[in-house]
Structure 1
Amino acid sequence: MITCWITIVAQRDGMSIKKTQHKSSGKSGKKQKTKKPRKADIADRHELYEKSVQATDFEYEFVDTNFRRIRGRTATQLREDFCGTAQMCCEWVRGRPDNRAVGVDLDPEVLAWSRDHHIAALDDEQKTRVTLLQENVLEVKTEPVDVVLAMNFSWQIFEVRKELVRYFASVREALVDDGILFLDAFGGYEAYQEMEEKTRHKGFTYV
């Protein structure tokens, strides 16, 4: 802040009147630094979530392959519970022209984000095969589907046994007779796969 004193001398009736005024320029002697926004302030939390924990191309392959292996047919109707951004719903309808998907979530904000980002990226025909519902997974009623997904440990929100049993019962009603509920109980998708890893340390034998 630059401050100066201005002295004004005026003549009135032969008398000299001296006035002193204070004036501030509003400018600082030091250069003001522009505060840059933090990355966290401008980051898209939904996009970060997807990059952190989702791999829908792998998820599609896992669900599609294992349903066919277990049931001997191809799944076409999918419901994604706790769908969030509904990225998997969109992955599913892109997979085959007869695939249809329903996404269920309580949060209107994340569903709106999905419509603006993922649904908007689909072509007009694919958009007709995706439905997003702002509903409670314990109460929602949908047409019978081949697959219900409850991924990323979302179903573990039900910490009371009675509520968890209620959810599983509602899922059973939502499935066709040979439908399958896919959910993860630990790790990630690679936790279900048989893998071979070579590790060598002197004096140790890894099997």
Structure 2
Amino acid sequence: MNSSTGEIKADGLRLSLYKCGETIYKKTRHPTTYGVYSEIETDDALYRFNLNNEIVFIQGRTPQWPSSREWLKRSCGNDWIYYSAGGYRGSYETFGQDRLREPINFKIPSPYNEIYKATGEYYLPTLPYISNAILGSDASTRTEVQGLISAWYEKLKSALEPLTGLPPSFADFVTGVSAELTGETGRKGATTVSYSRRPPFGPAPPVHAMS
């Protein structure tokens, strides 16, 4: 066990507790995580949880995953939103031939991706509905991404079931995650699971009256 990071490896999994992300907003050229969170990593996926032990992010870990910079994020409405960094074939193809009259060819330093060149933002959210597709090509329709969206619940549950003999804090975490999986209700097909009992990011902070 690495006590400085709260991390252990057990039965082929990596479990990390209470990792600390950024505490203030930053606009960066790479994925940024905020606040305190925990993780479970398997051979094929990285699952990230809030302090309620509820899953909020997933990233594929297989070679078929589109990009190590891209994640699935679970919304408050229980939809999985894929955040694309773009640049698979260029702005023209990323947005679709019917959206841009010609490719964007001006030069920008390499850390800036195609999405940034076209929109000024570093990521493009792609929704899981054809009717709500924002722009052109949609990485969320790829087989590897759809596989995680449809099977994350079963994959995570089966990965946790064999775990025994963990240190108390990790055992509590696994128990909490398992309880959330068991208690989640209102599944809409195989793609989403509704949150149970609490909002996905915990209770709202108290509001203090102005004196």
TM-score range, shorter chain: under 0.3
State which structure, 1 or 2, has the greater radius of gyration over its C-alpha atoms.
Answer: 1
Q: Decide which structure has greater helix share.
A: 1
